[in-house]
Structure formats: structure tokens, C-alpha cells
A and B are shown apart, each in its own frame.
Chain A
Amino acid sequence: DADVTQTPRNRITKTGKRIMLECSQTKGHDRMYWYRQDPGLGLRLIYYSFDVKDINKGEISDGYSVSRQAQAKFSLSLESAIPNQTALYFCATSDSDRVDGYTFGSGTRLTVV
């Protein structure tokens, strides 16, 4: 099983619909992140969480919300999806006790029509 699992892998939704992307991890890491990838723009941080009670906005949080249900689970919601939220979304984890690279999930490709 993957260390960081994202569901769904692909999703097509309509404008105005609410959608939730889920992320779970078995790394035992305390920190979790949601990034969005767009061609030519790299990865941009949407939200990050350093523990269950700590949620922080990233550089592009407008239109998104998150929930850290447990140390291992971090979900991203689009309350009312719009076409420019079409992108590849990645969840990542890290350990606050170590300076290591992040562990990424395989991504969710979201299309808003």
C-alpha cells in the first residue's frame, strides 16, 4: 500500500458542486499539505496542517477549505467548484522532527466543467 493515498484519482464535476478530496497516510508524519499543480506554475500551497488542531492557509486558499480529521487524514473541499479549479491536486506529508523531503500522494486530477 502507498504511504500517502489520495482518493479519488480522477474526478469530473460540474460548476457549483461541492467536492471533497481525501488524503490518508501511513507514514506517521505530523505535518500534512495540500498543493495544486498547474502547467508552468509548479506546485502552489493551498493549506497546511502541523497537527490535528493546527490548520493554516497557504498562498491560494480562496475557494478551498480543509479538515484534519485525524493525524493520518487530511481532506480538501471545494465548496462550490469553478472551472479554474481544474488542476492536479497533491497531498504531501512530512515529519517535523526531520528535515527530509516531503512524501507525496499520486494526485487527484480534478476537472470542473
Chain B
Amino acid sequence: AQSVAQPEDQVNVAEGNPLTVKCTYSVSGNPYLFWYVQYPNRGLQFLLKYITGDNLVKGSYGFEAEFNKSQTSFHLKKPSALVSDSALYFCAVRDIAGFKTIFGAGTRLFVKA
């Protein structure tokens, strides 16, 4: 069965510092992996995806994510955090058949000025 783990409930980082939000997954076969962001009182917004190819994928708002097959991880990164990046971040995995997507529990990111 598919599963997604986000080991940190909250990540705190100072503005201008690099940030990492961690995600590990379990799925049969090759995964499709996604990151979403949720701002207060809003729905989830798609940030980026990994399907195949380069292990480093780039997405919206300067975010990128690194796929590591041996560690079954897909960590979200940004070189320089902004206060406006403060939000709830969800990692998600979809199986190759594409029937449904499983979401992690979410990680709240606080960026302090």
C-alpha cells in the first residue's frame, strides 16, 4: 500500500536561510511524487512534481525537490527562505496506475524575519 511520511510537524527557519521540508514514501513500483502548499483559508496549490528523469525538479516560487530512490525520499528545498513562504506543506504520492493520490500529514513552515 502507498504511504507518505512527513517526519516533522513544524520547521522553523530564519529569512534568507535555506530550508528543507522532509518527505519519505512507500509505493509499489515507480512513484509519481508531488508537493503542495496551503496558505490560511485556502485550498492546496500544486508546487512541483517528479515523474521521471532528473532527480532535482524545480517548481513554483523558487522551490525545488530532490528525488532519492535509494532512500525513498523527496525533500522540498529552497535556497533562501522568505517570510511569505510560511505555510503548510504537503507531500503526496500517486501510484503509476494513477488511481489515487495519498497525502502526508503536512509540515508547517515558519520563516522568521
Q: Which residues of A contact B (CB under 8 A)?
A: 4, 33, 35, 40-45, 48, 58, 90, 92, 96, 99-107
Contact = CB atoms under 8 A, between A and B. Distances in A.
Nearest to B94: A99
Given A42-B103, A42-B106, A43-B103, A106 B46 contact: no
Contact of A104 (B44, B47, B98): B44
B49 interface: yes
Contacts of B101: 45, 102
Contacts of B45: 104
Given A45-B102, A102-B44, 8 more contacts: A40-B106, A42-B103, A99-B32, A101-B46, A101-B47, A102-B36, A106-B43, A107-B41
Contacts of B34: 101
A111 to B, nearest CB: 15
Nearest to B91: A42
Nearest to A109: B41
A66 B103 CA distance: 21
B42 A106 contact: yes
Contacts of A4: 43
Contacts of A96: 98
